Structures are given as structure tokens and as C-alpha cells.
Amino acid sequence: KKKICTTEINTEVLCGVESLEKVASLPEVDIVMAAIVGAAGIRPTFAAALAGKYVLLANKETLVMAGHIFMDVVKKHHATLLPIDSEHNAIFQSLPRNFTGDCAEVGVRRILLTASGGPFRQTSLAEMKHVTPKQACAHPNWVMGQKISVDSATMMNKGLELIEARWLFNATPEQIQVVIHPQSVIHSMVEYVDGSVLAQLGNPDMRTPIAHALAYPERIECGVTPLDIFKVAQLDFEIPNLTKFPCLGLAYNALEAGGSAPAILNAANEVAVESFLKSRIPFTTIPSMIKQVMQAVDHKDIFTLDDVLAADNMAREAAYEWLDTKNTDSRK
């Protein structure tokens, strides 16, 4: 910052959430890529929608925590919302161009949300008790950051994406089916009432959904290696094991409960993952910690962003209290 001040270049240095909100809503900004990880991205993403921007949504927590509130803001302020998550982008590509949020109107029976199953799909529960952060971050198909890698390993990432899909596509929980697809070639599917199933296929490379959203409705080259269908030996599909991956079940429960429950789920998960990465809790304690925090914090109706952030704060406090109690008990 000091070096910039001593030069003649016209550069302004900003920091903090308020600055992110300011940048996201600047008049000269046309497109906002909302890609901040976790709850920290919710306020700048809201700012972009309030300013009627073209929002490329990679921050799933905005919809997880404040789904109906955010979608109302998008509609009221005439913002354009395009999904960046590979699964949701695949669903978007598999829906009719004229889709406006009514699945019945365009003949959608259900959405098939694919999941790789993560690095521990074939690992026993007994072995999972000894998983290290390094092992949890080693995804078989995707190169990702630590937090989302752990979420993929617990399948909480798919749970968050389930909630995201509910709001993005105005689908009921019953209309969204999570499908384990270990090859990560089919990125998601849409089943129609006439028996047709449309899918988007491609190599697992985030440049594809990013390029699609940036160029929409056109198509651009982005350097991705084309999918060689002759080398795809087989495509496997499995039903998720909720006993082995209880985080996915917790997400279903939060979606059904509604109100502040998804925000509580997300906050508890963020603290749990952070604690696991710091080796404060075992991998298999992540879901039980989240469950206990969800039981400890009252679920309330949410009407404003402040309501959402209040639920987030309460859940984080409860999560850290749980950790303190756990550490105290372990020292006795």
C-alpha cells in the first residue's frame, strides 16, 4: 500500500467486508464472480444482487443460508444469476432456455444431483476414524481448496449443493435426488415427465462452467481437454449411504426444517471442518459435532439478512462452546 502511495498510478486499496460490498455494487462493474468461500461471501453477494448485477454464483453458502431472501432480492432488483458450481451449471444447461423457476411448467420430474463420493467412498467406517487432514484433502477427481475438499470427503458439500439446488431451481426436496457417480463425467442430470433424461458431460475441470457462465449464451474456448467418450470405460451410479456419510442426511434435515436451520448447519460445519484441519477433532466427529450444535441452537424463521447472520453467529458460538467442553472433558 505504501509503494502504491509513492507512485503516480491511480490505484485505490480496499479491505474488509464493506469494501467488498462497495466493489460488488460499483456502477462500472457489470459482472460479479461471487467466489468467496463460506459465510464470509454472503454480504458481498447480496450487494451485487441489490445492485442488479450479472452474478456468477460460486459461493453456495449464500443460497444455503439465505435462499428465499436472496432469490427475492435477485428478482426484485432484476439481477441475473448464473451458477458456477459444476453440478448446478450442468443442471442449468440441461433445463430449457425459457426456464423461469417453475419445474412443472417445463415438465421437470426431478433433478439428479451427482456426487463423486469423495476419497472415502470405499473406505470402511473403522478406517475413517483415523483419516488425516492430508487424506481428506486428496480428492480423486477434482483439485480444490482444503475446506471444500473436506466437505466433499464428508459429503457435506453435496448436502450444501442440495440446498443450493432447491433455491436455484425452485425445486422441492423430493424433486432432488443425490446420485453417487464416481467417474465425475456426468456433472448432473434433469429427468422430464416424458421419460427423457438430459445430462451435461465433460472432464472434471472448473474452467468449463466458468467459461459457460462468462460467455452465456455464447460458447468460448477455455483450454479444457475435450472428453474422449471412447476412453470412458463405464459410468457407475450408486445410492448415497447416509449411515456412512451422515452429513448428507443432516443437510436433508436442515432443508426440511427450513428457517434458520440451514444457516446453523453451515456455521457448525465451517467450525467443525476448521477444527478437523487443525487436528482438534477426528474426521468422524465432524457430523456428530454439527448435529449437536443444530440441536443446541433454536431454529427460527428468517426474514432478513440480519436474521441469517444472527443465526450464523449463534451457531458459531455454540460450536466453539462445544469444542471447549470437549477439550475440557478430554483433559479430565
Give the C-alpha separation, 84 to 89, whole Å: 6
Q: Which of 133, 150, 85 is nearest to 290 (CA)?
A: 150
Mention every residue, 6+ apart, whose C-beta is less than 8 A from residue 321: none
Q: How confident is the model at residue 328 (pLDDT cuts 50, 70, 90)?
A: low
Q: Which numeric CATH code is attached to 1-83?
A: 3.40.50.720
Cell numbers that stand for 20 in this block: 467488498
Q: Which residues pair with 198 in a beta bridge?
A: 190
Mention every residue, 6+ apart, whose C-beta is less than 8 A from residue 314: 264, 297, 298
Indicate where the chain has its CATH 1.10.1740.10 domain(s): 258-323
Indicate where the chain has its CATH 3.40.50.720 domain(s): 1-83
- Max Cα separation, the chain? 67
Residue 78 vs residues 56, 66, 92, 105: alpha-carbon distances, Å: 14, 18, 19, 22
What is the structure's pLDDT at 254? 98
Q: Which residues pair with 180 in a beta bridge?
A: 115, 238
Give the C-alpha separation, 42 to 270, whole Å: 14
Q: Which numeric CATH code is attached to 258-323?
A: 1.10.1740.10
Whether this prediction's pTM lies above 0.85 is answered by yes
Q: Which of 314, 304, 230 is nearest to 264 (CA)?
A: 314
What tens digit of pLDDT does each residue of 70-108 get? 999 999 999 999 999 999 999 999 999 989 899 999 999
